């Protein structure tokens, strides 16, 4: 007997609140779903936490993978785990850590799915040393309505594999993935906070620390004016023997409730120029007050957003912007000075400015390259669009790369100018899927 | 039974989490294989699978008996299974009505009928059935489905009577809205319970002689209100 899979029409939005549209959603939970030959355009969806509208489009059909969330196989010698793509990072971490393993490369929120990490080629806490998520994917199973199930890895189907990892879900449904985990040296992480006077000195410290530390990033205060602009700290962390662990366990269970809808639950924004200034000063003082050295658990170090879910709600229903870009090291000073000059003229509440060192070969539409990856957060206001247009021009002129998945409005022209292989991505995608069955707001906007 | 999705899948996880060996039954091996692998890896329990369709009771039972012989002693039977149709308005052809009765009632009877003597002889174990609030009172939709589920409730009442002098627990849950494919996308009066919430309660109650219970519990009040509603009002309701 044929089976009609229920479909719900719902309002969906990107996590940053920039794209709000109506789309159809299906949430299959049985493998026979993949028998159905759905002819219309569709797009896979994981936890729906992408900042950009990568998992839905106006009038389109999104297929949510979260019911396919199981561990399928585990090779204890090779440290390879096979999972369904809808498994969350948190669930997978619990499985791996009980076997003294973990994924080195993963974003900081546990509800994100493995499929989402592959589709966006997410990065982790030390991209310069570890690379991006593709580096720990040893293979995957892709489903395409006309091509069926395809097993991919970097040696048998290298082009399709590399098109899919960082392909924003446009090649098909990632059904299963095989991931290489790494041994956990210990469950205790020593965190060192080191003050820096500006982005340039922070970048220098990042460059030195990236090779020797397991987790490393900078935080800068962009709400400060004058000389203090960009002051902040470097946060560098590494595994230390568990004998150093604090007597009181620091791991706490947090309810992972963050979604695009819950983020926007508070109607009014609480972050503006004045509150941001106070919060940034308080945050910096707290970090300094905690001292140069503290201990935390691996779970807390891997998923720092679990304790910061409130931060995203403070932006209110209007939402926020993240502009994350890789800037060639030689142009970092020019980039930050241009931003500082802009902010003097047209103040914007920069609620977060955080840097990570990046290394890698630019390829297709994956967010990688050599340089400083600087992420900026600011509230979505009437002024913010002008600032983003300024940042678009600036990053292109300095040879940088903006993140596609962290910005729900990055224009086609900016991607064309900053991703040398954008056209190659397009050609490979059309060669694999001439009818272009997988579409999202992101793919429409970028003419993919 | 019904371990591939919804309450059945959640129940298999809850039982595996407490270390129970499991023989999972569902219609499609493609769903059973990953579920069995997952439970073995996550909880280190022994899991075997049977792919069988509940709309064919004899074949369903035969496959279970065959696998159960190598599996070992069966100490509990869980039936979070069922099937419904959108066109169940009282005009179904015989074959399709039988399909609903087999899937919701006769298959359960077939399996219980086989294993009940073993459970009674061992003087321990449990038999857990699942009904639906759709069967509280006959309505103009889900007619055959509700009749089968009402029959199932009666059947479990009888089973409890049979097992009353033994240590075999017979439990029957009348399920309200549960977040499954059946409720996905539907506008409902109440929030559907997550299958894991249902499974947690079922496992928690396993050693208790609870008889019949509504889940979530507030459905007991709703069921009572619906059952005492005067016919003059009830006949006007469209639900």
Per-domain residue ranges for chain A? 8-64, 71-184, 188-410
Chain A residue with CA closest to B44: the answer is A95
* B185·A67 Cβ contact <8 A: no
Given a cut of 80, whether residue A164 has pLDDT beyond it is yes
Q: Which of B6, B42, B86, B194 to mutate to test the interface with A (most CBs of A within 10 A)?
A: B42
Chain A residue with CA closest to B3: the answer is A30
- Among candidates B31, B86, B185 on the partner chain, residue whose Cβ is nearest the Cβ of A30: B31
The tens digit of pLDDT for each residue in A335-349 reads 999 999 999 999 999
The tens digit of pLDDT for each residue in A198-234 reads 999 999 999 999 999 999 999 999 999 888 999 999 9
Averaged pLDDT for residues A422-446: 97
Task: Give the sign of the dihedral formed by CA A138, CA A100, CA A356, CA A83.
Answer: positive
Given CATH 2.30.40.10, say whether it is the number of domain A71-184: no
* A31·B186 Cβ contact <8 A: no
A293 pLDDT band, cuts 50/70/90, is confident
Give residue A289's pLDDT: 79
- Among candidates B5, B42, B86 on the partner chain, residue whose Cβ is nearest the Cβ of A29: B5
The tens digit of pLDDT for each residue in B56-109 reads 999 999 999 999 999 999 999 999 998 999 899 999 999 999 999 999 999 999
**Residues from chain B contacting residue A4 (CB–CB below 8 Å):** 86
**Residues from chain B contacting residue A73 (CB–CB below 8 Å):** 37, 41
- pLDDT above 70 coverage of chain B, percent: 100
Chain B residue with CA closest to A93: the answer is B42
- Among candidates A5, A27, A72 on the partner chain, residue whose Cβ is nearest the Cβ of B34: A72
* A30·B4 Cβ contact <8 A: yes
Distance CA B224, CA B202 (A): 22
What is the SS3 assignment for A98? Answer: coil
**Residues from chain A contacting residue B6 (CB–CB below 8 Å):** 29
Q: How far is B165 from chain A (nearest CA, A)?
A: 41
Given a cut of 90, whether residue A5 has pLDDT beyond it is no
Distance CA B208, CA B227 (A): 27
Chain B residue with CA closest to A8: the answer is B185
Chain B residue with CA closest to A28: the answer is B181
Q: Which of A5, A36, A69, A72 to mutate to test the interface with B (most CBs of B within 10 A)?
A: A72
Give residue B187's pLDDT: 82
Q: How far is B2 from chain A (nearest CA, A)?
A: 12
A3 pLDDT band, cuts 50/70/90, is low
Tell me if A299 sits within 8 A of A103, measured CB to CB: no
**Residues from chain A contacting residue B41 (CB–CB below 8 Å):** 71-74, 95
Given a cut of 60, whether residue A333 has pLDDT beyond it is yes
Average pLDDT, chain B: 95
Phi, psi of A230 (to 5 degrees): 85, 0
**Residues from chain A contacting residue B192 (CB–CB below 8 Å):** none
The tens digit of pLDDT for each residue in B222-236 reads 999 999 999 999 998
Size of interface A-B (CB pairs under 8 A): 52
* A6·B181 Cβ contact <8 A: yes
Question: What are the residues facing A220 on neighbouring strands?
Answer: A232
Distance CA B15, CA B10 (A): 9
Averaged pLDDT for residues B147-151: 96
Q: Which of A2, A4, A6 to mutate to test the interface with B (most CBs of B within 10 A)?
A: A6
A287 pLDDT band, cuts 50/70/90, is confident
**Residues from chain A contacting residue B42 (CB–CB below 8 Å):** 71, 95
Q: Which residues of B touch A (CB under 8 A)?
A: 4-6, 9, 28, 30-31, 34-35, 37-38, 41-42, 86, 180-182, 184-186
Q: Which of B29, B32, B41 to mutate to test the interface with A (most CBs of A within 10 A)?
A: B41
* A71·B37 Cβ contact <8 A: yes
Tell me if A201 sits within 8 A of A220, measured CB to CB: no
* B38·A8 Cβ contact <8 A: no
* A72·B37 Cβ contact <8 A: yes
**Residues from chain A contacting residue B35 (CB–CB below 8 Å):** 70
Tell me if B108 sits within 8 A of B151, measured CB to CB: no
User: Left if phi > 0, otherwise alpha if psi is -120 to 50, otherwise beta: which for A430?
Assistant: alpha
Among the listed residues A169, A153, A136, A178, the one whose alpha carbon sits nearest the alpha carbon of residue A365: A169
Given a cut of 90, whether residue B183 has pLDDT beyond it is no
Chain B residue with CA closest to A76: the answer is B41
* B37·A8 Cβ contact <8 A: no
- Among candidates A4, A30, A95 on the partner chain, residue whose Cβ is nearest the Cβ of B28: A30
Which class is A188-410 in CATH?
A: alpha beta
Tell me if A260 sits within 8 A of A222, measured CB to CB: no
Q: How far is A73 from chain B (nearest CA, A)?
A: 7
B184 pLDDT band, cuts 50/70/90, is confident
CA distances from A213 to A235, A240, A296, A327, A372 (A): 10, 11, 15, 22, 16
Q: Which of B38, B43, B53 to mutate to test the interface with A (most CBs of A within 10 A)?
A: B38
Identify the H or E element spanning B50: strand B47-51
Given a cut of 80, whether residue A259 has pLDDT beyond it is yes
- Among candidates A28, A32, A95 on the partner chain, residue whose Cβ is nearest the Cβ of B28: A32
B185 pLDDT band, cuts 50/70/90, is confident
Q: Which residues of A touch B (CB under 8 A)?
A: 4-9, 25, 27-32, 67, 70-74, 84, 95
Given a cut of 70, whether residue B153 has pLDDT beyond it is yes
Give residue A254's pLDDT: 63
Q: How far is B184 from chain A (nearest CA, A)?
A: 6
Give residue A407's pLDDT: 97
What is the SS3 assignment for A428? Answer: helix
The tens digit of pLDDT for each residue in B198-223 reads 999 999 999 999 999 999 999 999 99
Q: B9-40 in b/e burial notation, b at 16+ Cβ within 10 A?
A: bbbbbbbbeeebbbbbbbbeeebbebbbbbbb
Tell me if A373 sits within 8 A of A326, measured CB to CB: yes
Mean pLDDT is highest, among A307-316, A399-408, B180-189, for: A399-408
For B75, other C-beta atoms within 10 Å of its C-beta total: 15
Identify the H or E element spanning A74: strand A71-75
Domains of chain B and any CATH numbers: 6-234 (3.40.50.720)
**Residues from chain B contacting residue A6 (CB–CB below 8 Å):** 181-182, 184-186
């Amino acid at each position: 007997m044929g089976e009609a899979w229920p479909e719900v029409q719902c309002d969906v939005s990107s996590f940053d609140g920039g794209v709000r549209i109506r789309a159809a959603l299906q949430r299959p939970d049985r493998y026979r779903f993949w028998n159905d030959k759905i002819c219309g355009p569709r797009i896979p969806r994981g936890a729906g936490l992408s900042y950009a509208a990568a998992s839905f489009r106006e009038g389109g059909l999104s297929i949510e993978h979260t019911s396919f969330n199981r561990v399928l196989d585990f090779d204890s010698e090779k440290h390879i785990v096979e999972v369904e793509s809808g498994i969350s990072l948190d669930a997978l971490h619990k499985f791996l850590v009980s076997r003294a393993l973990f994924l080195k490369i993963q974003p900081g929120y546990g509800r994100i799915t493995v499929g989402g990490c592959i589709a966006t080629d997410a990065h982790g806490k030390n991209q310069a040393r570890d690379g991006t998520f593709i580096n720990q994917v040893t293979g995957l199973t892709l489903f395409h309505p006309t091509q069926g199930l395809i097993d991919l890895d970097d040696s048998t189907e290298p082009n399709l594999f590399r098109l899919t990892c960082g392909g924003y879900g446009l090649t098909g449904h990632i059904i299963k993935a095989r991931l290489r985990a790494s041994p956990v040296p210990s469950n205790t992480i020593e965190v060192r906070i080191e003050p820096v006077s500006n982005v340039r000195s922070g970048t220098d410290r990042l460059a030195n620390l990236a090779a020797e530390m397991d987790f490393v990033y900078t935080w800068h205060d962009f709400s400060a004016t004058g000389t203090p602009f960009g002051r902040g700290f470097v946060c560098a962390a590494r595994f230390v023997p568990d004998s150093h662990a604090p007597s009181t366990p620091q791991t706490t269970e947090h309810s992972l409730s963050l979604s695009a809808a819950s983020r926007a639950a508070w109607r009014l924004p609480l972050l503006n120029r004045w509150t941001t200034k106070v919060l940034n000063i308080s945050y910096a003082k707290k970090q300094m007050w905690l001292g140069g050295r503290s201990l935390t658990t691996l779970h807390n170090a891997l998923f720092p957003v679990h304790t910061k879910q409130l931060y995203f709600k403070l932006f209110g229903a209007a939402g926020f912007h993240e502009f994350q870009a890789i800037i060639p090291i030689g142009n970092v000073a020019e980039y930050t000075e241009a931003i500082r000059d802009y902010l003097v003229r047209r103040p914007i509440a920069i609620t977060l400015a955080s840097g990570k060192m990046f290394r890698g070969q630019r390829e297709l539409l994956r967010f990688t390259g050599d340089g400083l990856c600087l992420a900026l957060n600011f509230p979505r206001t009437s002024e913010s669009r002008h600032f983003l247009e300024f940042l678009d021009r600036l990053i292109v002129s300095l040879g940088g790369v903006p993140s596609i998945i962290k910005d729900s409005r990055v224009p086609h022209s900016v991607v064309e100018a900053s991703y040398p292989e954008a056209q190659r991505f397009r050609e490979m995608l059309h060669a694999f899927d001439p009818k272009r069955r997988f579409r999202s707001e992101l793919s429409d906007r970028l003419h993919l | 039974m019904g371990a591939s999705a919804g309450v059945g899948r959640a129940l298999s996880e809850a039982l595996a989490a407490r270390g129970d060996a499991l023989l999972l039954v569902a219609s499609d091996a493609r769903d059973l294989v990953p579920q069995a692998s997952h439970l073995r890896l996550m909880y280190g329990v022994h899991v075997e699978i049977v792919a069988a369709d509940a709309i064919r009771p004899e074949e369903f039972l035969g496959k279970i008996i065959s696998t159960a012989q190598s599996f070992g002693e069966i100490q509990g039977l869980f039936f979070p299974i069922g099937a419904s149709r959108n066109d169940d308005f009282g005009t179904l052809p015989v074959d399709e009505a039988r399909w609903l009765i087999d899937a919701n009632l006769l298959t359960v009877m077939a399996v219980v009928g086989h294993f009940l003597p073993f459970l009674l002889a061992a003087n321990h174990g449990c038999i857990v059935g699942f009904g639906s609030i759709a069967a509280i009172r006959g309505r103009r939709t889900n007619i055959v489905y509700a009749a089968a589920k009402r029959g199932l409730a009666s059947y479990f009442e009888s089973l409890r009577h049979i097992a009353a002098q033994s240590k075999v627990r017979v439990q029957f849950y009348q399920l309200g809205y549960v977040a499954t494919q059946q409720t996905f996308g539907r506008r409902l009066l109440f929030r559907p319970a997550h299958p894991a919430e249902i499974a947690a309660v079922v496992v928690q109650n396993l050693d208790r002689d609870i008889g019949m219970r509504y889940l979530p519990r507030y459905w007991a009040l709703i069921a009572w209100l619906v059952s005492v509603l005067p016919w003059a009002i009830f006949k006007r309701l469209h639900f």
